[in-house]
Amino acid sequence: MNTPQNTSEQIVAALAAEGVEYVFGIPGDENLHFLETLRKDGRIKFVLFRHEQAAGFAAAAYGRLTGKLAVVMSTLGAGATNLTTAVAHAYLAAIPMLVLTGQKAVRDNKLGQYQLIDVVDVMRPITKFAAKIPSGPMAGSILRQAMMSALDGRQGPSHLELPEDVARETELGPLVPCQHGDMPIATDAAIATAADLIANAKRPLIMVGGGTRANRPDVAAATRALIEKTQIPFISTMMGKGVADEDSPLYLGCTIMPGDYPNCAVQAADLILNIGHDTMEKPTFFMEPDDGRTVIHLNPFAAHGDNAYFPQAQIVGEMADSISRLTAAITPSDWDHAGFLRVGQAMQASIARAAQETSFPAKQGHLIATLRDFMADDDILSLDNGIHMMWATRNFNARQPNTMLVDHALGSMGISLPAAISAKLVYPDRKAVVVTGDGGFAMNSQEIETAVRLNLDLIIVVFNDGGLGMIAMKQMAEGFDKFGVGFKNPDFVQFAQSYGATGHRLDDPSEFRAVLDAAAAAGGVHIIDAPVDPMQNMMLMKEMRSVDCAALLKGV
């Protein structure tokens, strides 16, 4: 593209220079000039979604998977407010994203208050930076601030409002490229202190948290090297899954609920090396001032020190460097990990038992085990929020980083299908599988059309229990009657066909693998309606609440 002649052209040029590949969204009157500029320029693809929330979720998944700036656009008013859930997700999950919303003309608005709300003020609490571009001469500098804010430090979304008359302005300011600084490195003293604490511990444990899910492979490689050298057992949070190889005998499980098998090790550990803990993720354990446990916080950012998490030692700096230096400084000791290893064996035995149930309605543990066998190590599993997420994060051993997309920060329903669409754009040669409940699927099921229109190969498995399974389970656990959680679903096979996709109903769970293989071989978009047994959820809850930690740890 030649030298930009107007604000829209300048913004597109800056985005292209930053490496932006896609703009996700839905256009409106106020950003048609910007959209036309995208079309004429050709360097950045525009991906039309059917709902702004879904476009935002897709953008966030792109940012998570690539580490690049994700861009989503909408018009003003309802288009902008529809984005807020996805923006809040990116904010809590620390995902770099630029949100561009249109606005009426600044100088010649003849539509009064129609669609007019203060979108910048709406976005400000859920973004790192939010501003209106007031004029062409200011566009370059404000855009640079927004992009650098999104990408630097603890990453997150930035918002810019572009009025339609400003988009056309021809008087422009300079366009200065973004210059991103390196993350500071941890001090030698912090590394030495942590190494001494670990060496002198009796039962150290490693926890891999959501902050390690960054797409940089050196973080995962450094984490795996630490575990390999020290042979210290590890657990993961939901958003930390796959950073370390969960097929390892040192893997004790994912922290789902306080009473489950991995929590036995959390409670028995006298030291926890908490790698990549991020307070945006639901706490996996609660510290007490006198619980006799030392916690080391290893993260690019210091701990906040709230009432549940106040680590006694911190290694604050670039994560891969910190982990590698700590690995070099640690001398493996004669730690007592026999009980921890029994915890890991019990966890895997629980997963294996659940995999054997093949009766109808389908048993969730069998479906998850079949998916694990069906998917390659680097294929991507995209989860929605609901009881199926508990089954998947607990029973699906992830082997590579960023292969399980899960929102345990905002906890958004409707996220799995848009995220999987984005994953297929980033990794077209990998299989992408959506696992969703029927409640979450309904929230953005219209994006089946988007996936079909983009000619994607995508498999969507709907855990169909005719209701909000997680909430129904919690009502039962509290002794309440089931109320306000049931609904009727469409015929998912016909639903798929109406969009040009292929539908399957799983009447025989033992045929699940054959259905998956056939869908993968045929290509295109497939929806598998899998009626599931809701009582399995209560049985899982009962098992997780009845684990005998003392017996496991003592080997009796």
Q: State the pLDDT at residue 115.
A: 67
Stretch (H or E) spanning 502: strand 502-505
CATH of the domain at 470: 3.40.50.970
The token pair that represents 26 in the structure block: 């839905």
Containing structural domain, residue 416: 356-542
Instruction: Give residues with Cβ within 8 angstroms of 528, minimum separation 6.
Output: 459, 460, 461, 462, 503, 504, 505, 506, 512, 515, 516, 519
Beta bridge partners of 435: 383, 461
The amino acid present at 394, given as its one-letter code, is: R
Tokens of 278: 């991020």
Residue 23 lies in a domain: yes
One-letter identity of residue 200: N
Closest CA to 393 of 470, 326, 452, 497: 470
User: Which spans in 231-277 are helix H?
Assistant: 261-268
> What's the pLDDT at 539?
92
Inside any domain, residue 183: no
pLDDT value for 214 = 57
Count structural domains, the chain. 3
Q: Which two tokens stand for residue 146?
A: 């927004």
Regarding whether 360 and 335 lie in a shared domain, the answer is: no
Q: Could you tell me how far CA 92 lies from the centroid of its own chain? A: 10
Residue 403 lies in a domain: yes
Residues 360 and 339 in one domain: no
Instruction: Tell me the C-alpha distance between 54 and 415, whole Å.
Output: 7
- Residue 378 in any domain: the answer is yes
Same-domain check for residues 200 and 307:
yes
Last residue of a domain, one of 133, 167, 201: 167
* 552 falls within a domain: no
Structure tokens at 87: 């923006």
The answer to whether the beta carbons of residues 357 and 263 sit under 8 Å apart is no
* CA atoms of 254 and 235, how far apart (whole Å): 6
Cis bond upstream, residue 361 (ω within 30):
yes
What is the signed CA dihedral for 499, 501, 502, 506, rounded to 10 degrees?
-80
Parallel/antiparallel/unpaired status of strands 251-254 and 157-163 = unpaired
Query: Which residue type does 116 have?
Result: L
Report helix, strand and coil shares of the chain as percent, to nearest 5. Answer: 45, 15, 40
CB-CB neighbours of 103 under 10 Å: 25
Dist. CA 152–CA 419, nearest whole Å: 23
- Strands (E) located in 244-393: 251-254, 271-275, 294-299, 313-316, 380-383
Please give the distance of CA 372 from its chain centroid, rounded to a whole number.
19
Q: What is the pLDDT along the chain (556 residues), one digit of tens a residue?
A: 578 999 999 999 999 999 999 999 999 989 999 999 999 999 999 999 999 999 999 999 999 999 999 999 999 999 999 999 999 999 999 999 999 999 877 666 665 566 678 999 999 999 999 999 999 999 999 999 999 999 998 999 999 999 999 999 999 988 888 888 888 999 999 999 999 999 999 999 999 988 766 556 799 999 999 999 999 999 999 999 999 999 999 999 999 888 899 999 999 999 999 999 877 777 677 888 888 899 999 999 998 877 888 999 999 999 999 999 999 999 999 999 999 999 999 999 999 999 999 999 999 999 999 999 999 999 999 999 999 999 999 999 999 999 999 998 899 999 999 999 999 999 999 999 999 999 999 999 999 999 999 999 999 999 999 999 889 888 888 889 989 999 999 999 999 999 999 999 999 999 999 999 999 999 999 999 999 999 999 999 899 989 999 999 998 7
480: Cβ–Cβ under 8 A, 6 or more apart, which residues? none
Q: What are phi and psi of 158, to 5 degrees?
A: -120, 150
Q: Where does a domain end: 314, 343, 372?
A: 343
Q: What is the largest CA-CA distance in the chain?
A: 79
Query: CATH no. for residue 245?
Result: 3.40.50.1220
206 and 265 share one domain: yes
- Per-residue pLDDT tens digits for 280-296: 777 677 888 888 899 99
Query: Does residue 458 sit within a domain?
Result: yes
If asked whether residues 389 and 456 sit together in one domain, one would say yes
Residue 105: what pLDDT?
78
* 403 and 314 part of one domain: no
Q: What residue has token string 């990794």?
A: 427
Q: What is the DSSP letter of 388?
A: H
For residues 41 and 126, membership in a common domain is answered with yes
- Shared domain for 99 and 197, answered yes or no, is no
Residue that finishes a domain, picked among 167, 202, 237 = 167
Asked if residue 553 is part of any domain, the answer here is no
Q: Which residues of 207-229 are buried (b: 16+ CB within 10 A; e: fewer)?
A: bbbbbbbbebeebbebbbebbee
Question: Is position 177 within any domain?
Answer: no
The confidence score (pLDDT) of residue 420 equals 98
- Comparing CA positions, the residue from 106, 100, 99, 81 lying closest to residue 163 is 106
Both 21 and 131 in one domain: the answer is yes
Q: Which 3 state secondary structure label does DSSP give 99? A: strand
If asked whether residues 162 and 267 sit together in one domain, one would say no
Are both 443 and 411 inside the same structural domain? yes
Distance CA 246, CA 224 (A): 11
Together in a domain, 194 and 154: no
Judging by beta carbons within 10 Å of its beta carbon (0-12, 13-18, 19+), is residue 478 exposed, middle or buried?
Answer: exposed
- List pLDDT tens digits, range 506-524: 999 999 999 999 999 999 9
Nearest CA-CA partner of 119 in 83, 145, 155: 83
Q: How far is CA 142 from CA 11, 133, 146, 147, 160, in A?
A: 10, 7, 6, 9, 8
User: Residue 295, SS3?
Assistant: strand
pLDDT at residue 381 in the model = 98
In this prediction, residue 285 carries a pLDDT of 79
